[in-house]
Amino acid sequence: MIATIQYNSRKLQIDLSEPLDISIPIKASKSNVNAWNLNPPKIEPVKYKEWIANVNEGACVNSNNISFNPHAHGTHTECVGHITEKSYSINQNLKRFFFLAEVITVAPETLKGDKVISRKQLQFAIGNKKRDAIIIRTIPNTIEKLTKQYSNTNWPYLLPDAVELLVSKGVKHLLLDTPSIDKEKDECELLGHNAFWNTKGKLRLDSTITEFVFVPNLVEDGEYFLNLQIAPFENDASPSKPILYKIKE
């Protein structure tokens, strides 16, 4: 099913029958992707006295309680409320859900024992392209990312000046396949988050960071139409389901 979409000054041809899901789902398993030293998610049937809300246990419905942390247990989208004293909700601040996006693949560089993504790398990959969203796939890119236990692994992260480059280019939505755009243990400086949301100036309230995506190797680098779907949580972050569509012009 081909849809013609007027986006700014361009007419885009989108094949809605070919969605490319780059989210990692949440499941009740020790193999669920994880970070920040948290226990795995729990999905358990409601229990009331002797009654269990599970059809296999004799109930007429299945009804589960779900316990998880959006920042630790899968693909999630967060707003500036993640790092501010004042409460900001992703549900109140993300009001548009379709964006022109660029997928780029980056091999993190080594800097003082860390794996980092530099300004130079992003400038080379993006060039002069104008995009609402940038989706960063790090390599190596294996299916291990779907189950990896990231706690205490010192994952790759973005250097602050790399984030500042994205802001200067007008990027409103940053998506990355690690648990955080910042270093795992940085004494709570959160340099990348602060730079992206401009916490020393006018807050970029309509800008988001999505972490823990997984971009399969079959998805080529280049331009896509992004549908950034969230659950309506009144919270700084929500589980999310970013979907890419190829653009046929």
Going from the N-terminus, what domains does the chain have, and what CATH number goes with each?
18-25+70-246 (3.50.30.50)
Q: What does the chain look like in DSSP terms, one character per residue?
A: -EEEEEETTEEEEEETT--EE------SSTTS-B-TTPPPPEEEE-EETTEES-GGGT-SS--EEEE--TTTSS-EEE-GGGT-SS---HHHH----EEEEEEEEE-PEEETTEEEE-HHHHHHHHTT---SEEEEEESS--GGGGT-B-TTS---EE-HHHHHHHHHTT--EEEESSS-SS-SSSTT--HHHHHHHTTTSS--TT-EEEES----TTS-SEEEEEEEEE---SSSEEEEEEEEEEB--
Task: Give Cβ neighbours of residue 18 (< 8 Å, ≥ 6 apart).
Answer: 245, 246
Cα–Cα distance, 27 to 161 (Å, whole number) = 36
Q: What is the pLDDT of residue 9?
A: 86
Q: What is the pLDDT of residue 5?
A: 87
Digits of tens for pLDDT over the chain (249 positions)?
888 988 888 899 999 999 999 999 999 999 999 999 999 999 999 999 999 999 999 999 999 999 999 999 999 999 999 999 999 999 999 999 999 999 999 999 999 999 999 999 999 999 999 999 999 999 999 999 999 999 999 999 999 999 999 999 999 999 999 999 999 999 999 999 999 999 999 999 999 999 999 999 999 999 999 999 999 999 999 999 999 999 986
